[in-house]
A and B are shown apart, each in its own frame.
Chain A
Amino acid sequence: MYSHDIVIVGSGLAGLRAAMELVGQLDVAVVTKVYPSRSHSGAAQGGVAAALGNVDDDSVEAHIYDTVKGSDFLGDQDAIEILCSDAPRTIYEMEHLGCPFSRTDDHKINQRAFGGHSYLRACFSADRTGHALLHTLVEQTYKQGGRLRVYSEWHMNRLIIQDGVCRGVVVMDIKTGKLEVLRAKAVLFASGGYGQAFKITSNAAANTGDGIVAAYRAGVPLQDMEFVQFHPTGLYEHGILLTEGARGEGGYLINADGDRFMSRYAPSKMELGPRDIVSRSEQTEINEGRGAGPNKDYVLLDLRHLGKQKIMERLPQVYNLAKDFIGVDCTEDPVPIQPTAHYSMGGIPADNDCQVYLDENGEHVEGFFVAGECSCTSVHGANRLGTNSLLEALVFGRRAGKKMLDAEPGLARAAVDEERELAAARDEIEVLYAGDGSEDLNAIRDELKETMTYQLGVYRCAEDMQQAQHTIKGLRERFRKVQVKNRGKQFNLNLLETLELSNMLEYSELIVDGGLAREESRGAHFRSDFSTRDDVNWLRHTLAFRTDDGGHELRYKPVTITRFQPEERKY
């Protein structure tokens, strides 16, 4: 058993930023199932939002409004105020730490257009903004001279909460298979999203919701799980993200007939409408037979008119991705794209200082914090605007760090029954080895992903979701008969994937049930059978609580509204 003051699970932007706030003052450890530079924050491309006003007359107020509207009014406005107010400071701080930003002619940080933002506020580093920010923080870890302990390639199996107090985590060293308890006064989860439950996703293989499920199993509710954002421009069949920046730089979306179809769906914003609207527009074109390709199952991103020089300078990664993965030269041909499961608005509920809620009444778990994509504060509500996620991770990563530093003197390193926790973790694993093997891990996973993509996708309806509910229940039953075939201890991907599938099955049920229960369309959750937004009945967050029989119950809590009353969301 190892002891630290603070244990952070997740080494992306939120986790590392929190660590920077604490290192040198407390004994802080970061646990990650990959290496920090491999965290999925690095895949973000288009930009990070802040009302710097470097290229136009932007304001924090406008940023707040755009974000609230973008959230389809489900976002908690006090949290959004914090997000947007802290944005300029955050960007300047990252620049000072060394983050390379693309620059204007007068040498300031350059900013460009982005979907749903009414001003040019996306600060960017070519089209690798997430990579630039992540590596800046990774560089900072080299400055710490051993004061920051990083457990790389350790999987987090269990969260230890006992008597309302968070005491640590149980982790497994992927290199050796060894289980350990990490005891702490406070634990921060910055463990990212859950897009891997979908077949077409931009998410890394690591994004299997380990953190949210561990919290959920430890008695913490999960909020707004049904809100999954589908990014409009995922590379056909791979789901790899082609940045929204491509549209920000002037790219067109066209159907098989060469029409810029967005004129019919978002006439004023066109390709720069918010993601949910653009994704649905694409799906509609495909559903109505105007999709391109032999199976008519994709639309096209056309960059040709931007010219080779602009593409190579502003969108080099887009160029390389299209060429390397599907052999398309985007300077000469339009690129096949389809909506891809991209961002998880849902997650672990927390207050504006990142302290986790135990229920809908404001009760907290002592010593448990969350930040970044795995949290739900909620700054994104029913739909996230692009460039706000990198911002959220930095702003709330820092806030979580500050709060933990502040709270630490009052937190006890509560007792942990090491043997019991290790035994529970071991049992969980033994069960997976004990399956009779009549079911196949990969078949179940593939079926889950197909179900989620086609029945919990851009368009939803009761029939589809009920079918999905039924399917997933069946998959959970069949999952018991899966047997881990690899008995090795080192780098046992077979075991890891089986643990991850168990997580995916668990949270997928919450997505389906939350979606089925929510009889309205809001943001990324669109139902063809309830196609309008219903603020009278549904202006509220969904909270899913695990029940003793392994099922769950849904409860609700209100949205915090400060400045902007809900209005019709048109672009």
Chain B
Amino acid sequence: MAVSKVTFRIQRFDPAVDREPHDQDFEIELPPGITILKALNKIRAEKDPTLALRYSCGSAICGSCAVRVNGHARLACKTQVSDCTTNGVLRVGPIGNLEVLRDLVVDMEPFLASLDRVKPYLVAGNGAAPEYERKQSPDEFLKIDPSTTCILCAACYSDCNVLAVDDDFVGPASLAKAHRFIFDSRDVDTADRMRAISEKTGVWDCTHCGECSTRCPTETKPLERIEEIRTKAMTDGFHGNPGARHALGFRETVGKRGLLDENYLPARSMGFLNLPGLLSLVPIGLRMVMRGKNPPLIPHSIDKVDEVKKTFARFEELRK
């Protein structure tokens, strides 16, 4: 059986002796078709019994083995070594945005605690022991099917760009978890959930970078769930925040002229009565004027704009 030599560049950290994490190379011979998890365990068995990592089921359902491979979060148990090597080298490190405890093991507590912020359980009213199941249609089940596949692996949390700069952000896993209950037809707390999620550090703080969905190993795909929550927020009128006003600004200007009005949009997002917010826009506004890049004061319409106006008008009617 053909074997090949691969160098695993693994991030090590032993809090007892290291001040900083550091990389360590392990050269190992591997058969074809081997997964990263199996290779890491081979390294533990043959080269270094002190290597620490998490794993359990080996079948992509328990969520234990998320690691960063070449800088991006993946499940070690279902990732092929051969897919990740460049010139015979691959890098493995702990997942991001969480404190490293030892080698590839991180502190999961903040991640698990973030879920607590979205009331991650069904709220359906109390009652005596149920005699029958609550009814739910197959379509209603399909709405929550993706978000219920989440295995809490934290790959999304690891690579989230906003969490990298702000650990108050509730995070993609929590937003996907919130989605699971917001869209569950049996949950009665929808309005409260929507209100809570629309506040600062919630759903509108996502920067839409797509890392979460790209790294998600299941069907959860947090970015798509975030988008669905925002659509619901816009449809159900949870508009009292900059993110929703920003979307309204798009609706209003594109619906009128086919293009964004970049003068109107920032002010609309801030809120026309938000004096400090509006004032904060002045510096950049001035900068643009000084460089001659300010958008035209009389906004420009596209040709055939009536086609667009018709579409927007009809959907506005449907909204009512």
A binding-site residues for B, Cβ under 8 Å: 34-35, 37-40, 42-43, 52, 89, 91-93, 95-98, 100-105, 107-109, 125-126, 128, 131-132, 135, 139-140, 142-143, 175, 202, 204-206, 238, 240-241, 316-317, 320-321, 324-327, 441-442, 484-486, 488-494
A92 engages B133 (CB within 8 Å): yes
Q: Which among B124, B144, B149 has the greatest number of chain A C-beta atoms within 10 A? A: B149
Given A38-B56, A40-B62, A98-B186: A491 touches B141 (CB 8 Å cut-off): no
A89 engages B129 (CB within 8 Å): yes
Tell me which residues from 74 to 110 in chain B have a Cβ below 8 Å from any Cβ of chain A. 78, 101-103, 105, 108
B61 engages A494 (CB within 8 Å): no
Given A96-B134, A490-B101: A321 touches B121 (CB 8 Å cut-off): no
B112 at the interface (CB under 8 A from A): yes
A43 engages B59 (CB within 8 Å): yes
B141 engages A92 (CB within 8 Å): no
Q: Tell me the complex Cα distance, A441–B41, Å.
A: 13
Partner of A35, one of B45, B112, B134: B112
A325 engages B15 (CB within 8 Å): no
Q: Tell me the complex Cα distance, A110–B186, Å.
A: 17
Tell me which residues from 127 to 148 in chain B have a Cβ below 8 Å from any Cβ of chain A. 127, 129-138, 140-141, 144-145, 148
- Tell me, rounded to whole Å, the shortest Cβ–Cβ distance linking A233 to chain B: 13
Chain B interface bracket (under 10, 10 to 19, 20 to 34, 35 or more): 35 or more
Tell me which residues from 107 to 126 in chain B have a Cβ below 8 Å from any Cβ of chain A. 108, 112, 115-116, 119-122, 124
B58 engages A204 (CB within 8 Å): yes
* A313 nearest in chain B by CB position: B142
Tell me which residues from 37 to 77 in chain B have a Cβ below 8 Å from any Cβ of chain A. 44-45, 49-53, 55-64
B16 at the interface (CB under 8 A from A): yes
A100 engages B121 (CB within 8 Å): no
Q: Tell me the complex Cα distance, A97–B130, Å.
A: 10
Residues of A within 8 A of B144 (CB): 100
Taking A43-B57, A107-B136 as given, write out 8 further A-B residue pairs in contact, using a Cβ cutoff of 8 Å, ordered by the A residue number: A38-B56, A42-B57, A142-B119, A142-B120, A241-B59, A326-B33, A493-B51, A494-B49
- Tell me, rounded to whole Å, the shortest Cβ–Cβ distance linking B216 to chain A: 12
Q: Which among A52, A128, A238, A493 has the greatest number of chain B C-beta atoms within 10 A? A: A493
Q: Tell me the complex Cα distance, A184–B134, Å.
A: 38
Q: Tell me the complex Cα distance, A549–B136, Å.
A: 60
Given A40-B62, A490-B16, A491-B102: A103 touches B56 (CB 8 Å cut-off): no
B219 at the interface (CB under 8 A from A): yes
Q: Tell me the complex Cα distance, A259–B60, Å.
A: 32
B135 engages A126 (CB within 8 Å): no
B149 engages A107 (CB within 8 Å): no
Q: Tell me the complex Cα distance, A42–B103, Å.
A: 26
Given A37-B151, A206-B56: A489 touches B16 (CB 8 Å cut-off): yes
Q: Tell me the complex Cα distance, A317–B218, Å.
A: 9
Partner of A37, one of B63, B121, B137: B63
B267 at the interface (CB under 8 A from A): no
A491 engages B133 (CB within 8 Å): no
Partner of B145, one of A38, A43, A126: A126
B121 engages A491 (CB within 8 Å): no
Given A100-B184, A491-B52: A131 touches B151 (CB 8 Å cut-off): yes
A100 engages B115 (CB within 8 Å): no
